[in-house]
Structure 1
Amino acid sequence: MRRIDALGISLGVFVAAGLIYVILQVLGIDSINAGIWTQTLLVIGLIGWSLTYLLRVSSKNMTYNQQLKDYEEAVIQKRFEEMSPEDLTKLQQEIEQEKESQTPKQS
C-alpha cells in the first residue's frame, strides 16, 4: 500500500465517522449518545479489520507470500526452459524412480 492510499483511507474513515455522527443526530439522538455510538461503530470496524488481517496472516494469503510464490515458480520455469533434452529425460527418470520408491509395495 502506498502512502497516499493510507492517507486516503484515513481521510475516508474520518469523513465516514463525521457522517455517521451527523446522521445519528438527525435521527434524534443527542450529541453525547451520537458520539458514543459513532465511536462504538468505529471500534467495531477496527476490530473487524484487524481480525481479517490476522486471518490473512494465519492463512499466508498476503501479498508478499503471493509474490514470493510467483517468483519461485518463475525461476523454476526459467530453469526448466534452459535445460537440454537430455537433462529433461534424466530428470524425468529420476522423478519416476523417486515415485516408485515412495509408493508402498503390496505383498
Structure 2
Amino acid sequence: MRRIDAIGIGLGIFVAGGSAYVLLRLVGVDNLEAGTWSQVLLFVGLIGWLLSYGFRAVGKKMTYHKQREQYEQAYFQKRLEELTPEELAKIQAEIEQARRVGNKE
C-alpha cells in the first residue's frame, strides 16, 4: 500500500464517521446519541478491518508474501536454466536417492 492510499483511507474513514453523524442528526437523533452511534459504527468497522487483516496475515495472502513467492520462483527458475545437463542429472539422481531412502522409513 502506498502512502497516498493510507492517507486516502484515513480521510475516507473520517468522512464516513462525520457522514454517519450528520445522517443520524438529519433523521432526528439527538447530538449525544448520534455521536455515540457514529462511534459505534466506526469501532465495528475497525474491528472488522483488523480481523480481515489478521486472517490475511495468518493465511499469507498479503502482497508481501505473494511478491516474495513470485521472486523465489523466478530466482529458482533462473538458477535451474543456468545448470548444465550434467549438473541437472546429478541433482535429479540425488532427489531420486532421497525419495528411495524416505520411502523405506
Question: Above 0.5 in TM-score?
Answer: yes
> Structure 1: where are the runs of 5+ without partners?
none
**Between structures 1 and 2, the one with greater helix share:** 2
Question: Displacement of 1:103 after TM fit?
Answer: 0.8
> Structure 2: where are the runs of 5+ without partners?
none
> How many percent identity over aligned positions?
52
CA–CA distance in structure 1, aligned partners of residues 87 and 69 of structure 2: 25
Equivalent residue number for residue 37 of structure 1: 37
Which letter does structure 2 place at the counterpart of 1:31? N
Question: Displacement of 1:61 after TM fit?
Answer: 2.4
Map residues 86-105 of structure 1 onto 2, 5 A cutoff.
86-104=86-104
Over 3 Å off, 4+ runs = none
Question: Displacement of 1:30 after TM fit?
Answer: 1.3
Give a deviation string over 1:60-94, Cα, whole Å, max 9, x none: 32222222222111111001000111211222111
Higher RCO (Cα < 8 Å, 6 or more apart): 2
Map residues 42-61 of structure 1 onto 2, 5 A cutoff.
42-61=42-61
Secondary structure of the structure 2 residue equivalent to 1:42: helix
Question: Displacement of 1:104 after TM fit?
Answer: 3.2
CA root-mean-square deviation: 1.5
Equivalent residue number for residue 5 of structure 1: 5
Secondary structure of the structure 2 residue equivalent to 1:32: helix
What is the aligned length?
105
Which letter does structure 1 place at the counterpart of 2:18? G
CA–CA distance in structure 1, aligned partners of residues 64 and 10 of structure 2: 23
Give me the TM-score of the superposition, normalised by structure 1: 0.87
CA–CA distance in structure 1, aligned partners of residues 23 and 39 of structure 2: 14
